[in-house]
Structure 1
Amino acid sequence: MEQEIMLEKSNPILWNVQFCLLYLSRILKVMGENIATIAVVWLLIEMGGDALSSSILFVCSSVPRTLFGPFVSPLLSNEKYQQWIFFSDLFRAITLGLVPILYLSNHLYLWLFFLLVTLQASTGAIYSQSVIALLPRIVAKENIQRANAIMQSSSEVIKLVGLAGAGLLIMFMSTTSAIFLTAVLYLVSALIILFVKTSNYYEQNNNLEELSDERKHQNSKNESYLKRLWEGFEIVRQHSLLNSMCLLVIFVNIGMAPWSALSALFVYQELHGDASTLTLLRISTALGALAMGIVLTKVKIKRLGALFVLAGIVEGTSLLVTGLSDWIWMIVFCCFVMGITLTSFDVPEYVIIQTTVPLHQQAQVYSVITMLGNLFVPIAFVSAGIIANWFGISIVVIIGGMVSIISGIIVYKKSSLSKMTLAET
């Protein structure tokens, strides 16, 4: 027993069983999500879906998850994040499992298909914010950056594996088989999360005053649901660092929207490439994200705010160069850099929330920033398509890059976010 304790203290991430369980659950969930991304769209095509139904499917699969988060966060129990994650994955397993069953029995009507996709996407918001709040309860505070880096970089690689796996499953088996496998992955993820324990590790590795404040908040019965709902928005509005971070997230997501929506067409029309070219770009992005994740597991960054702001500016610069260049290997390099900035953007965001926000409010704050950060993305998608039809895809990608660069410079000049050090948390 003493030897196990010494190992955990010397390497508290890799030897923390609770983190390993959460990590495995997350990997399975990300794998399932990305298989479903391809399989669900392909099933819609097999059902005779057109461009309009494809757009509706995109809205059903992305918008509810963004908007639903802040409304469910006040309901999350501080002591039962594992149960909420279990419920989220179990519900998604059931709703997705119904899709192939109804389709094979000729009872999957289009409206019912959209409803099931909407329901599973909505409950996906529970998983994301619960993990953000659960992680500080199973990992010591000094290792929060490393834990987030491990999970984020691994997720980017698993996304790529999931997308490729979906194609192989559909090619050699069937679309319904791929969706059913997704349901199984969600179910296994749900079962694994039930074994994650927080009480002993959490109480031994966190400040007793923080624990006392959290329990006082938890035992309070006077706050209404609406008050707790608004509390998340108020924290983001009043907290100068979170306010600046949220603004940068909004504009960087808007700047990235043209590339996210039109990268396939960019490869086809501007580079005269094919699916293998697009795959090369996505692999380059995933490798960049993985490389930066490995760096962040080894190097302790004290000025996380500066890294966050710099990532936004560098990402914008990469988009700008991508839009201006027609040399494939330059664009591959830019995609690699964008992968680096993806991890450099996400990990500081998580760590700043987990180290500056009270434990019982972290899920609410994360859900609010996520919702606001993605609120204008659908509009940006549509606008990018319209502008691209008029002026070309390269112009839209350049505009997106400029939006990210300008917003990053403004936040750097006008906010104290870039001056924040880890010691201040």
Structure 2
Amino acid sequence: MRPLRALVVAHTASAAGNAATQVAVPLHVLATGGSGLQLGIASAAAVVPVVVGGVFGGTVVDRVGYRRTSIAGDVVGAVTIAAVPLLAGTVGLPFWGLVLLLVATGLLDAPGQAARHAMLPEVCAADGVPLLKATGALNGAERLAQLLGVAATAALVGWLGALPVLWLDAATFAASATLVLLAVPHTSTAPSPAGAYLRRLREGFDVVRRDGLLRAVVLLVLATNAFDTGLSVLLPLVARDTWHHPAAFGWVSAVFGAGAAVGALQAHRLTRRWSRRRVFALSFLLAGAPRCLLLATGPSLELTVVVFLACGLAAGAINPVLGAVQLERVAPRMRARVAGLVAAGAWAGMPAGSLLAGWGADRVGVVPVLWTVGVLYLLVTLAPFAGRSWGDMDRPARQDADREVDVAG
């Protein structure tokens, strides 16, 4: 198997594991009498360590190596997720124990994902594949994993229950680690030179601070990810209260993932016809707010499926564009550090989003929270249509390995 194909398949397996966790864990919490606030706590527990790992782990990844980090992250995920059904089925697993395992799972998740993305330029060069096409394939695979992982988990949970499905979830992480170990070679990029950890960490912060486009991306995605995480807490409650079938949220999420997978694979073609900025801005505008505003009206499940599919198609082009822009602007030895920091900044609002959504659902109801999130989402996603920094998406970045970043001015 060619290295790029192996990397994409491995990333798909790991992402499928994450998607399965996002479905099985909330259903397990609901099945054991959990509240909306507990759903928010569980969601935050899965996100906080990802933020921490993104901030502090990227520097380690640049030093240790991308391939090793990818393998280690998936091995840890396999062990901690397998521990959930093992403990729950033997000695018992209290809610706080579930939270701790989710925290442990997420600690190496962001560094592992950053490592796989950081390997792309060298793997693409070896296989003769354009970078934007490869980022589209990787993100399309990730979206496809959402479809397969969420749909399969929703179906299997209805048949077997949430806990047995987590064994399969753990197996996906193990499969990803094995595939990278056997089929993806070490990249030729030299590791970050030895030095004080805090100094190398500060270098990564300087890259993001000096680049106007990266700063704008972090701020925008910080807000939208918070809204998306809040929506992921509210959607199971909508499925339970409106459609009277808690597992239906898994099918709706799977449809969104299917649309996003197709959209990601078309990103390269779209950016050949229109500017990156236009594709990115329109995709963000159409992908987020319509979902929240629709759910606030109490729609039928059939209409929800159609709208979520369309929103997924729009969402698919976002990450390939961002991934290509980021890899083009950052020197090879800094990739994991910058990717981790950007991801951490983008994910930083997610714990607050999930907690506030769960708290708001318990206090004022699901519908008022959906209207609030939808309106805010709409306002925030107007930002890429204005501002000088966003225009840098369409300006070629200078490729200079001796610089940490191509500064936007």
Fold agreement, TM-score > 0.5:
yes
Question: Is residue 295 from structure 1 mapped to residue 282 from structure 2 by the alignment?
Answer: no
Contact 1:99 1:113 survives alignment (8 Å): yes
Shift of 1:274: 3.9
Identity of aligned residues (%): 19
Shift of 1:131: 1.1
Q: Which TM-score applies when normalising by structure 2? A: 0.82
Shift of 1:240: 0.9
Match of 1:383 among 353, 356, 377: 356
Q: Which residue of 2 aligns with 1:226?
A: 198
Q: Which moved more, 1:374-383 or 1:67-76?
A: 374-383
Contact 1:284 1:332 survives alignment (8 Å): yes
Question: How far, CA to CA, are the matches of 1:382 and 1:278 in structure 2?
Answer: 19
SS in 1 for 2:124: coil
Question: How far, CA to CA, are the matches of 1:157 and 1:396 in structure 2?
Answer: 29
Q: Which moved more, 1:362-371 or 1:160-169?
A: 160-169
Aligned in 2, Cα 1:196/1:361: closer, same or farther, shift over 3 Å? farther
Deviations along 1:370-391, whole A, 9 cap, x unmatched?
Answer: 2222222222333344555676
Question: Is residue 166 from structure 1 mapped to residue 153 from structure 2 by the alignment?
Answer: yes
Shift of 1:158: 2.4
Q: Which residue of 1 aligns with 2:74?
A: 89
Shift of 1:336: 2.2
Deviations along 1:240-297, whole A, 9 cap, x unmatched?
Answer: 111111111122223434433212334555x556457645533431232122123225
Q: Which residue of 2 aligns with 1:241?
A: 213
Q: Which residue of 1 aligns with 2:112?
A: 127
Q: Which residue of 2 aligns with 1:26?
A: 11
Shift of 1:321: 5.0
Deviations along 1:1-20, whole A, 9 cap, x unmatched?
Answer: xxxxxxxxxxxxxxx70011
Question: Is residue 59 from structure 1 mapped to residue 44 from structure 2 by the alignment?
Answer: yes
Q: Which moved more, 1:28-37 or 1:83-92?
A: 28-37
Q: Which residue of 1 aligns with 2:21?
A: 36
Q: Which moved more, 1:237-246 or 1:163-172?
A: 163-172
Q: Which moved more, 1:154-163 or 1:342-351?
A: 154-163
SS in 1 for 2:217: helix
Question: How far, CA to CA, are the matches of 1:278 and 1:20 in structure 2?
Answer: 31
Deviations along 1:309-345, whole A, 9 cap, x unmatched?
Answer: 3322223552475267555465444322321232222
Q: Which residue of 2 aligns with 1:403?
A: 376
Q: Which residue of 2 aligns with 1:76?
A: 61
Structure 1 residue ranges, 4+ long, deviating more than 6 angstroms after superposition = none
- Give the partner amino acid of 1:290: A
- Give the partner amino acid of 2:196: S
Shift of 1:147: 1.6
Q: Which residue of 2 aligns with 1:285?
A: 256
Greater C-alpha Rg: 1
Q: Which moved more, 1:168-177 or 1:229-238?
A: 168-177
Q: Which residue of 1 aligns with 2:144?
A: 157
Aligned pairs for 1:132-281 within 5 A: 132-140=117-125, 143-173=130-160, 175-198=162-185, 215=190, 218=192, 220-221=193-194, 223-267=195-239, 269=241, 274-275=245-246, 278=249, 281=252
Q: Which TM-score applies when normalising by structure 1? A: 0.79
- Give the partner amino acid of 2:327: Q
Q: Which moved more, 1:117-126 or 1:71-80?
A: 71-80
Shift of 1:58: 2.7
Q: Which moved more, 1:356-365 or 1:389-398?
A: 389-398
CA RMSD in angstroms, aligned pairs only? 3.2
The count of aligned residue pairs is 393
Match of 2:309 among 336, 356, 360: 336
SS in 2 for 1:189: helix
Question: How far, CA to CA, are the matches of 2:84 and 2:159 in structure 1?
Answer: 20
Question: How far, CA to CA, are the matches of 1:43 and 1:280 in structure 2?
Answer: 17
Question: How far, CA to CA, are the matches of 2:275 and 2:307 in structure 1?
Answer: 24
Aligned in 2, Cα 1:183/1:259: closer, same or farther, shift over 3 Å? closer
Aligned in 2, Cα 1:392/1:113: closer, same or farther, shift over 3 Å? closer
Unaligned runs of 5+ in 1: 1-15, 204-210
Question: How far, CA to CA, are the matches of 2:87 and 2:358 in structure 1?
Answer: 34
Aligned in 2, Cα 1:421/1:265: closer, same or farther, shift over 3 Å? same
Q: Which residue of 2 aligns with 1:10?
A: none
Q: Which residue of 1 aligns with 2:322?
A: 349
Shift of 1:197: 4.1
- Give the partner amino acid of 1:342: A
